[in-house]
Amino acid sequence: MKRIAIIANCDKPDAPSVLRRLEAGAKKVGIELLTCDAASNFLSCGKELDCESMLGRAEAVIALGGDGTLLRAAKMLNGADIPILGINLGNLGFMTSVPEDKLEQTLKALSRDEFTSTYRTMLECQVEVEGEVEEVFHALNDVVIGWGESSRIITLDVSVRGENVITSMCDGLIVSTPTGSTGHSMSAGGPIIHPETAAFAINMICPHTLSNRPLVVPDSCPIEIGVSSASKSVLLAVDGQDCQRLNQGDMIRIRKSERTLNLLHLPEYSYFEILKHKLHWRGSVM
């Protein structure tokens, strides 16, 4: 790879110094850096392009920041089949799995095409108001329904493949991809799903019952969520970025997206080692 786009969170304290290291390392291995945002202010060779021109020339994208930066980069791709590699400048960075101290090693690997890649499933979310499609979103991580203008509970009707599964009084609901299963869904008690699993997780947020459990369904099954009762406006969040207000009677239809995301890793990458290191996933102490 010889042309790489940089999408960076320049609000990170270490971002300027890391970008300068990135520039020096790229020069050594013959990689041209492209940017369309504030990162160009810290790169002497960086020419700021519009997003379309940058992605049209790039062979890969480096997302420099945290998982939020990688999600922003995925949204900017808008379905384009350009691989992304995440370099972590934050504390957790589950998807941005490459630590900042391996930056130079990463550039060498990219210049030699020495990496592994996985195509991550995405989901498509349609919002219907009075029977008409109002918005269509694509998510790499999750779709979350909840919060809003008060702490009052709402009632959601959930169907899978046209069959009613549950009507739940709750604070909200999360539908996550395998990639997103280690995010908000896991924090709400949901399962960890290996990223190569063809499934979605449905996880209620604070359901008003003692018997509720998260549900894992094939990603070939369409999911429908109806807001059957709500005394407030409810927020819909897609990958923690796009938000829309929902009201009683609105319908959310979720299915597997035709889009995927090509995520790059260094050759030594291990999903289970990341679980152990980042999330402190442990077995019994012997």
Active site positions, annotated: 67
Q: CA of 204: how far to CAs of 21, 32, 176, 184, in Å?
A: 44, 46, 11, 11
β-bridge partners, 164: 159
Rounded to whole angstroms, the Cα distance separating 225 from 280 reads 33
Q: Are strands 84-88 and 60-65 parallel, antiparallel or unpaired?
A: parallel
Closest-CA residue to 193 (of 176, 178, 203) = 178
β-bridge partners, 61: 5, 84
Rounded to whole angstroms, the Cα distance separating 276 from 253 reads 34
Angle in degrees, CA 146, 148, 151, rounded to 5: 85
